[in-house]
Every structure is written in C-alpha cells, then in structure tokens.
Amino acid sequence: MQYHRNGFKPGNYQIPDEVREPYPRPPLAPLPAEVDVLIVGCGPAGLTMARQLAEFSDISTCIVDREPGPLLFGRADGISCRTMEIMEAFNSSEMIVKETYQLRKNAFWEPDPDNPDHIKRTHKISDARIGLSEFIHGIVNQARLHELLLDGMKHSVTGLEPHYSRKLLTLDIDQSLTHNLDAHPITATFERLDDDQPGKKETVKARYVVGTDGARSVVRKSLGIELKGDSANKAWGVMDVLVVTDYPDIRVKSFIQSKEHGAVMLIPREGGYLVRMYVELDILEEGQRAASVKLTEKDIIAKMQRIYHPFTVEVKEVAWWSIYEVGQRVAERFDDRPLDAPEDQTPRAFVAGDACHTHSPKGGWGLNTSLPDTFNLGWKMAAVLQGKSQPKLLQTYSLERRKVAEQLIDADRQLSRLVATSPSAKQVSDGRQTNTTDIEEFMARQNGFIAGTGIGYYPSYLCTGHENQELASGFTIGQRFHSAIAVRVADGRPQHLGHLVKADGRWRIFIFGSGQNPCNSSSDSGNLIEFLANDPSSPVVRYTPKKADIDSVIDVYGVFQQQELSIQDIPDFLWPPGGKYGLRNYDKVFHAEVGNDVFDLRGINRDQGCMVVVRPDQHIATLLPLNAHTELAAFFDEFMIPPR
C-alpha cells in the first residue's frame, strides 16, 4: 500500500490520502464518580490495558489523558514481532501487517577508507529477526496502532472510549481501605483542560489505578516510586520526513556513521515514501534536559545532510520532529507495595510503560516494552476483579515485568554506545575497522529480545515444570507460545495454533498427542481428556461455573500426529456444545501438517506427547507429561478460585 505521496496525512490508511481525516475525538463526557479500574494515560501501555479490560462487561474502566484527542503524529514507530502477536490476540494484526513497512534488511554505512569525508556502504544483511515469529518486524506511525486499539475498545462489549483533556493533578490512596478488595481506596483528582469548562476539577474513586502516564508520571511520583539509573547525556534529533535523495538505501534500514559529524539511523516508514531519521546531536551538560537544547528541525536537517555526504537529501516535508534524550532508568518497583511489604499485601496501584522504564528510542523498544507490560497486567487484573483468581496474582506483574525492564535498560545502554560512537582507538589497533560490525553482532545476539519473542519470565507458580522442558524443546516455559501451523480436522484448514490464544482472559491447554491413537479411550490423550472432562479434581470441572460453557475458563485443544482422524471418533469434550443453541465447536481438534510438522518444528517428543498450558497473555505457564493429571490440578489450585 502507498500513501503520503503528496504530503503526510494521519488517520486510517485504508482511506485514500485525498479524503483521509485524522481519527475523530470522542465527545467530552463527565468522568465517572467510581470505577473498578482507572487508567491514566492513552499511550500504548494505557490503551492496551483499556483494550484488554474492555473485553469484560462486568468490569468498569475509565481511561483518561490530558491531550485533547488521540495521538496523530510521531513518537515510536517500530512494531516488534511480539507486538504484532499481541495485536493478533486482539484480532487486529491484519491491518498492521498490511499497512506497515516490513523490516527485512539492514544496511551499514561508514567513512570510505579512500575518501573518509564520504560515506560508503560496507554491507547489507537480512534482518536478524526474520523467522522468529510468523510476523515480520514492521514500521508504522504509533498513532495508527493507537487507532486500532481505540477501535477495538469502542467496538467491544463495553464500548469503552477515553476521556481526553483531563490532567491528573493528585492521586491519593486511603491505606485504611486497601485490605478490603471491594473498597475504592484510590482518589484521583483531574483538571479539565478543554475550552468548555477549563480548570474544572473532577474526582474519580477507583479500586485499582494503573499509571501509564509516561516518563514524567504523576502516578509514579504520587506513589513515591523512584527511577534509578543514568539520566540523559545524549540528545538525538528525530524526524519523520518526505525526501528526494540519491542515497540508494533510502528504503532500507540503515546505520550511517560519518567520520566527523556523528551518526544517523534511517528507518523507512509505511506507505513507500516517508522515512524516520534519528540524528546524533551533541552531548548534554550534566543535569541539562533535551527540551532546553535550543535546536530546531532546520538544525537536525543540516546535521543529517552533513552526515550523508556525498549524497544529497532534500527534505520536502517534515511530518513530525522532536529532540529526544538518551537516559536509561528503571523504577525500583512497579506497584505500590513497598519492597518490604508483607506477603499477603495486594497491590492497588501500578505503573507501566515509560512511567517505569525510560531509555533511548533507537532500539524501538519503548512501545514494544510498554504494550506488553499491560498485556501482562490486564488479564491478571480482570481475573482478580472477576473473582476467578487469588489477589496474589497481581504481585506477579511487578516481578515479571521488572526483569524485562532491566534487560531492556541493559540492552539499550549497549546499543546507544554502539550507534553513537566512532570506532575507538582500541578497536582500530585491534584491526577492528568498523563499529557497524559491532551493531550487527549486537543485533544477532539480541534478536530474540529485540523481537520480543525471546522474553521470558522467572520461574514461579505461574511459570513452572522446567524439569519437563525436554518434552517440547521449542516451547520454552516462561516465553510466549511460539505459534506453528496444524490442520483442523473438521475442515482441513491450516491454522496457526498461536492465533487461537485470544486476549479474552481464558487459559489454554494444548494436548500434543503421543504415538497412541487419541480415538482409543485408553490412550494417554484419551485418559487425559476423560480426566479433564469428568474428574472432580480437574481444573476444567473445578473452575468452570455450573451454567457456563465448558471452555469458558480453560479452553482445551488437541493436536495429534495421526493423519486419518475423524471428529466423531474424538471424545466430544474436544468438540463441545456452547452458546444458547448448544452448537458444537469444531475448531479444537488438529493434526500435524505433513512437511510442516509442529511436532518437529517445536521439538515435541513423539512417543510421549505433552500438555502445554498457556496463560491468557500467551506465555507458557507449564509443560507436563500427558499423564500428569495431579500436577495439572495442583498448578491451577495454586492461584485459582472455584466459582461460588
């Protein structure tokens, strides 16, 4: 798809440039007096939290932002493979796949040894992330991703829409109420910034609050949470531009290092014409903020043009620009529980996204770490509010995501050094002529982290069973369920198994059958299905409300090696009735695809098979042998609550 040919235009890229309008602002409505969850900030972290909670009609949510309406321009632009997978869980990946620039190659440019004032391409390589996911890393306006989340909220059962033009002033937590989970201990005071009632104060009371209000988070400050790490010392100019140029790699992501003028990172953007450029500016003084650097887009363009010599880059339009500072900081905790809190204290306030980790923009990690933060928190919050899981589940958010933030800060420190510095004297004396080689090595080493697909959580009661890892070496416990294709028995359609794990708060159990035929009731798969369907200790039996569909809490799938299966011969627990007519669900039984066999692709033990238990956020909770019925029950009993 091509767009922006006659100038950048925000909005829905499915609509031609000529008639495209910016995403509409919802009408101003009064803030609710009381809600279950208050979310402050409509960035990717806040919108993902809201998008997740919007799935549940029994949870009231309010999301607020100080801006007058949805984002239109700029900011983060990289959409990692993992972010795409999460958008698939929200049923919105197709648009992104269609609209993004797909990152397939990287080019490296350095001073020409024969003429060091000129840059010269050293090499071009395939992107290290290719093959880590069924999705390809893409580049698109952050605002477009916001729109897809906003559309999903609006069209959900709750019809949730943000409240704009409200600035959070203060946030108080009444500690005398925090032990009572039904109470509303949080009081947030907002100031209206719109023209109708400027300065008017509004108050919202909430059971839980999520601060997704960016790097200068008022929520974080109100909770007394400190950011630890280095403050900024390097400013980068960033701009989205439409250019006419003779630079041959204008449609290839490029790392460009000049001899004397610094570095540029070029990222082609969606629509065929737009490009993003990160231009290295000067080192900041101690304590100086990027906002105080009195540079304009003209200075950034002039610097970029010097770096590009001998190529000419004529900027026809600047769609957006900003001066961005590099500083790697992470919050000491991601919720309101003090570090020495008693074990049974339930957190009531959380920070996510830039509110708890800040870093440079070059790795493209801001959005791609912020959005999965709340993808981790959202289902947990819903499960606790709905009384399905014990409140201690909420403590795992900070534990799991803080580890990721620390990895991010570490990776960003390394990348910032590599992208911004000329080869050191030592590198030159070691015969290392280039530092773009170091970038390439870094990218290859960190590819799983950069793609988001290699991110895993610590062992805990939510990620367990590591002694069984060899039953399926390609499904790493703690990491996201790596999708692969299998063939649906009922109609022969190839189906990505990972795409069955939607963001609907349900747990999934994938039964990967052994060599024994599952149609035989005494086979290990047959026994497991019998246990799941009928045993009083089965988590499906124990945690599914009496009148609810059998798969409404735990959704079970069967994937078998045997090719000649007929749905009628499989126990009907795997094609259960559901909905008001009791219609049969035929989408749960699969066989391996010949030539693209999931058992081979994911290293599943063909003799023994295994169970893979997948969390509502698509991460693998545990791997178990097919006969580990007691262990499976014990896993869920650790944190689930039976229905009343």
Ligand X SMILES: Cc1cc2nc3c(=O)[nH]c(=O)nc-3n(C[C@H](O)[C@H](O)[C@H](O)COP(=O)(O)OP(=O)(O)OC[C@H]3O[C@@H](n4cnc5c(N)ncnc54)[C@H](O)[C@@H]3O)c2cc1C
Question: Which residue shows structure tokens 């799935």?
Answer: 55
Nearer to ligand X, 355 or 487 (CB): 355
Cis peptide before 347 (omega within 30 of 0): no
Nearer to ligand X, 120 or 201 (CB): 201
Interface segment toward ligand X; rule CB under 6 A; list 281-289, 349-357, 513-521, 622-630: 349-357
Nearer to ligand X, 44 or 452 (CB): 44
Nearer to ligand X, 134 or 325 (CB): 325
The answer for residues whose C-beta is within 8 angstroms of residue 571's C-beta and 6 or more apart is 518, 521, 526, 529, 530, 533
Contact 176, 186 (CB under 8 A): no
CA–CA separation, 48 vs 45, rounded Å? Answer: 5
Nearer to ligand X, 80 or 346 (CB): 80
Give the helix/strand (H/E) hosting 21: none
> Could you tell me the smallest distance in angstroms from the CB atom of residue 452 to ligand X?
13
Amino acid at 118: H
Best CA proximity match to 276, nearest among 251, 293, 311: 251
User: Among residues 10, 23, 35, 44, which is the contact residue for ligand X, using CB under 6 A?
Assistant: 44
Site track 14-43 with ligand X (rule: CB under 6 A), x = hit: --------------------------xxxx
Interface segment toward ligand X; rule CB under 6 A; list 126-134, 175-183, 262-270, 359-367: 359-367
User: Among residues 10, 11, 46, 539, which is the contact residue for ligand X, using CB under 6 A?
Assistant: 46
Interface segment toward ligand X; rule CB under 6 A; list 90-98, 350-358, 482-490, 552-560: 350-358
Site track 124-143 with ligand X (rule: CB under 6 A), x = hit: ------------------x-
* Residue 636, phi then psi, degrees to nearest 5: -70, -35
Nearer to ligand X, 193 or 601 (CB): 193
Give the helix/strand (H/E) hosting 45: helix 44-53
CA–CA separation, 421 vs 362, rounded Å? Answer: 14
Examine residue 353 and tell whether it contacts ligand X (CB under 6 A).
Answer: yes
> Could you tell me the smallest distance in angstroms from the CB atom of residue 420 to ligand X?
15
Site track 63-92 with ligand X (rule: CB under 6 A), x = hit: -xxxx-------xx----------------
Question: What are the Cα distances from residue 30, in Å, to 165, 168, 204, 445, 481?
Answer: 11, 15, 10, 50, 41
Nearer to ligand X, 334 or 560 (CB): 334
Nearer to ligand X, 26 or 387 (CB): 26
Give the footprint of ligand X on residues 363-382 (CB under 6 A): 364, 366-367, 370
Examine residue 354 and tell whether it contacts ligand X (CB under 6 A).
Answer: yes
Our CA angle for 493, 499, 503, nearest 5°, is 145
Other Cβ atoms less than 10 A from the Cβ of 33: the count is 11
Nearer to ligand X, 87 or 598 (CB): 87
Site track 213-242 with ligand X (rule: CB under 6 A), x = hit: xx---x-------------------x----
CA–CA separation, 337 vs 342, rounded Å? Answer: 9
User: Among residues 138, 162, 327, 361, which is the contact residue for ligand X, using CB under 6 A?
Assistant: 361
Give the helix/strand (H/E) hosting 28: none
Contact 110, 122 (CB under 8 A): yes
Judged by phi (left if over 0) then psi (alpha if -120 to 50, else beta), residue 262 lies in: left
Examine residue 164 and tell whether it contacts ligand X (CB under 6 A).
Answer: no
Helix (H, G, I), strand (E, B) or coil at 513: coil
Best CA proximity match to 476, nearest among 83, 132, 136, 135: 132
Interface segment toward ligand X; rule CB under 6 A; list 109-117, 211-219, 465-473, 486-494: 211-219
Task: Give first-to-last CA distance, the chain, whole Å.
Answer: 52
Residues in binding contact with ligand X, number by CB under 6 A: 31
Listed in sequence order, the DSSP H helices in 392-470 are: 395-420, 425-429, 436-445, 447-451
Interface segment toward ligand X; rule CB under 6 A; list 156-164, 208-216, 280-288, 430-438: 208-216
Give the footprint of ligand X on residues 166-185 (CB under 6 A): 167-168
The binding site for ligand X (CB under 6 A) comprises 40-46, 64-67, 75-76, 142, 167-168, 212-214, 218, 238, 322, 324, 353-355, 361, 364, 366-367, 370
